[in-house]
Each structure stands twice: as structure tokens, then as C-alpha cells.
Amino acid sequence: MPPRPKPGSKTDRDALRSELLAVGAPMSVVAAEMRARFGLRPREAWRHAHGWTLQEAADRFHRVAGASGPAADASLVGKWEKWPDSAGRRVTLPVLTVLAELYGATLEGLLDLEDRRALADSDLRMLQHHQGGAAPVVVVAAAPVPAPSPVQAVPPAGTDLVRAAAQESADWARWAEATNCGPIALEQLGADTQNLARAYLMAEDPLHVFGQTKRLLNGVWDLLYGHQRPQQRRELFTVAGYLMALMSWMTSDLGHRAQAETHARGALLCADSADDPGLYAWVASTRSKLAFWDGQFRQAVQYAQLGASYRAPGTVTVLLHCQLADAWAEVGARTEALGALGQAEDAAAHDQADPFHDQVGGLFSCTTGRHANYASAVHLRGGSASNALVHADRGLASLQQQRVRAYGTEAQLHITRAGAHLLARDPEGVLDAVGPLLSLPAEHRTAPVRRRLRDLARDTAASPMGDSAAGLHLQDAVETAVREAVRALPPTTTWIGDHD
């Protein structure tokens, strides 16, 4: 004997619906019984009262809403049913109006107490106005659809079949042409993404930029749950990809590498959907950065090499070769590191390195100052104080000409200069170089800055000037700077990464 299906299974729902329809029960009674028997939320109960899958409900929704109405797919219909649960998606009054017409329900019948608690006050007022006998809340252009019936309609034939087929094509064309995102909205989303990528470089409150980015990304996700033309959808995926890469970068800086990887994987999915070489390359750069700060230098090399293989426009190729050099230098592979620096120089000299070709800019750009920061650090690790100083001075001069101040890059360049003077046994040069850094506001002394400051103090202690007055003064100043920076961190936050 086969096992009995559990209550609430499709078999149970179909049996209940058939029994009620057989005795002439209206759909409102079927939906009420679905809720009582199986504990369903109102909108899901109405759908099951008709015996429709999520996809069938979404298809009928489009025919009812028409070209000017809201768009939906099976996933979004399911999220509307779950709202206001955290896994759901907010139901608006236009959506409720279409659902009410689709299911043959009233607006009130699609809402329970949880829904009403979550509705905005303005929506509740409009709903109460509607209940009072006023005109419908929202007027939606609707394509005519047959009223729901438990009896199977007779299929059209002959001329009626031809006309019905043409009507279905017209209905589909109206749906395919509809979009919830126009060119102006796409342009604004792109501009907002650019502003956030620039703001993060000089953010006095990085968590504030994080929150702004999250809100913008949620808005893009809301649009992607709807319907757009193919090119508009690709552009939305591109925006979402850059925002998720930015979220990944910031999440890593906030000390949560596993969560940063989650954002990076989402950004990679967006790059696949957008088929955008530039986004592919920046996602690879982001993942190389994550691997580097986790001490996975071989993986950092592999991601940088993968990103460079896309030959993307703009300055991302310069940055990828710089990251490659940084990872090689960290493991002592000096020949490979210098070779990668040479490739970065070649890319910077090429037309593709024109910073105006960067789609987003800000964090997603490799300026002369950022390039010089990598080059100076690689030369310092290789033991060349003179080359390190040349590149550090070039980088600082370039940063002074920028409108956007990149605090992290600037701080690291000062530390490199101090390290080069230490290597050249120039105590006064070390103190002069580190002076601007120690006056930097504490919140801008991020983890790589603090880490490199500690490295500088350690190297100073091990050098001939370690026991000198200048050496002891430097070590004390560094310890104070690090303590101040840690105290300035938001509660429960440990910064482990930075813009470079």
C-alpha cells in the first residue's frame, strides 16, 4: 500500500479543490479552505484554489496586467506570496490589483494581519478608501482573459483558432516590449555606482558607503526580478556586478573574507549574464585581492593572470599586472615580480590604459598613483631603495593632482618612502617620510597601513638605528598610531584589507 501523501501536498490540494468545486463552492470558499486546512498565506491559497503552478500564475499575470502593468516571473510570484517574511518581496497595490483580478478575489481577501502590519500607512489609507466603496485603488491596463472555471473550455477551431493564435502573439509582444527600467533609470544607476566607487576611496565613514551601496544593490535586484528588454537586462547585470564587486571589496576590508567571497561569486555570475569583459576582469582583480590578504599568494597570482587574459579596456589590466607583481614579490620571486611590473608599464602605455575608458572609475581604476604604489613596494621588497623612492615620489606627486584623495594609497606610499630611507640607513629620512602618515586621521589608518607600520617598526628595531634616539622615537610613534587607529574602528570590526 503506497504511503499517504502528507497534508498540504499537491494531491491533498487537488482533492480538496475537486470536492469543493463539485458541490458548487465559489473560489473564495476554496481559498478559505486551503488556508484553514494547510496553513497557507492568502495569496498562495488563492493560487492553489485555481490549481495553478507559480509559472502558470506568472503567465496569466502578464496577460491580465498588459503592457503597462507590473511585470513578474514565477520566482517573483512566489516571493509575493511569502511577503512580509524576510524571504519575500514587498507586494505593492498595483500588484495586488492585478492579482485580485487574476484570482477573482477582493483586495482584502489577498491580505492577512501580517500583511496589513507591514503595509505602508499610505497603502493602508488607500485600501480603507477602497473598502469604503470608492473607485478601485489602481487602474491597470488589462488584456481580457477568460474567467476562471473548473470546466475545461472547448479548444478553438478553424477561423477562431487562427484568431486566437494571433491574439496570443499580440499578448506576448506586448509583454516582451514592456520594461520596468528605461534608459534614464539605467544612466542614473550607472552614475550612482560611479559615485560610490569614488566615495569609498576617500570615505571618512566606510560603513556609511557600505550601507549606501547595499541599498542601491537591493534596488537593482528589485528591477532584475521584473522584466526588461535583453540589452537593458545586460546593463542591469553589469551595474549589479560592479556593485557586488564593490561590496566584496568593502566586506573584506570590514574583516569578513568568507562573506566577501560570496559577493565576489555573485559578481562573477553577473559578469556571465552581462558577458562583459571589463566586469570579468574587475571581478578577477577583486578575487586576487581577497586571496592576497588571506595569504593565498599562489591563488592571488592565478586570479590576476586570469583577469589579464580578458584584455579588457581601461586600466584594469594595469592593476592586474601590479597585483601579480605584488603577489610574486611577497613570495620572493623577484624575477617574476619585475617581469609583471614591466607588463604593467606596457599596459599603462597602451591606449587601453586610458583612465577615461574605465567604465566606473574610483576604486575600479588604476591611476598613476595606485600603479606607483605597487611598483615602489615591489622594488622595496627587492632591496632597491633608489627605485622604491623614485616610484613613491612619482605616486605622491600624481596623487596631489587628483581631485579625489585616495587615503590608503597615499599612506602606503609614505611608508614605502620611510622603508627606502631605512634601507639606505638614513634615520632623518625615515622620520621625515613617516611624519605625514602619523598626522593622518586615525580612521584612515586601515589594516594594510597598520600592518606596514608594524613592519616598519620591526625593521627599524632590527636595523643599526634600532637603539638610537630616532629609532626608539619612531617605534613609539608607530605604536601610538596603531592604537589610535584601532580605537577609531567601528565596534566588532577588524579591518584586514584596503583599497590596494
Per-residue pLDDT tens over the stretch 56-84: 898 888 788 776 567 778 888 889 999 88
Q: What is the pLDDT of residues 292-331, one digit of tens each?
A: 988 999 999 999 999 999 989 899 999 999 999 999 999 9
User: Per-residue confidence at 484, pLDDT binned at 50, 70, 90?
Assistant: low
Q: What is the per-residue pLDDT for 404?
A: 62
Architecture of domain 184-487: Alpha Horseshoe (1.25)
The average pLDDT across 357-361 equals: 88
Q: What is the per-residue pLDDT for 447?
A: 64
Q: pTM for this structure?
A: 0.65
Task: Check whether 497 has a pLDDT greater than 80.
Answer: no
User: Per-residue confidence at 131, pLDDT binned at 50, 70, 90?
Assistant: low
Q: What is the per-residue pLDDT for 356?
A: 57
3-state secondary structure the chain: CCCCCCCCCHHHHHHHHHHHHHCCCCHHHHHHHHHHHHCCCHHHHHHHHHCCCHHHHHHHHHHHHCCCCCCCCHHHHHHHHHCCCCCCCCCCHHHHHHHHHHHCCCCHHHCCHHHHHHCCHHHHHHHHHHHCCCCCCCCCCCCCCCCCCCCCCCCCCHHHHHHHHHHHHHHHHHHHHCCCCCHHHHHHHHHHHHHHHHHHHCCCCHHHHHHHHHHHHHHHHHHHCCCCCHHHHHHHHHHHHHHHHHHHHHHHHCCCHHHHHHHHHHHHHHHHHHCCHHHHHHHHHHHHHHHHHCCCHHHHHHHHHHHHHCCCCCCHHHHHHHHHHHHHHHCCCHHHHHHHHHHHHHHHHCHHHCHHHCCCECCECCCHHHHHHHHHHHHHHCCCHHHHHHHHHHHHHHHHCCCCCCHHHHHHHHHHHHHHHHHCCCHHHHHHHHHHHHCCCHHHCCHHHHHHHHHHHHHHHHCCCCCCHHHHHHHHHHHHHHHHHHHCCCCCCCCCCCCC
The average pLDDT across 116-125 equals: 76
Most confident of 4-18, 35-49, 194-208, 265-279: 265-279
The average pLDDT across 351-372 equals: 81
Average of per-residue pLDDT values in the chain:
82
Domain extent listing, the chain: 10-146, 184-487
Task: Check whether 140 has a pLDDT greater than 60.
Answer: no
Task: Check whether 145 has a pLDDT greater than 50.
Answer: no
User: Per-residue confidence at 3, pLDDT binned at 50, 70, 90?
Assistant: very low
Q: What is the per-residue pLDDT for 490?
A: 53
Most confident of 73-87, 137-151, 391-405, 466-480: 73-87
Q: What is the per-residue pLDDT for 500?
A: 54
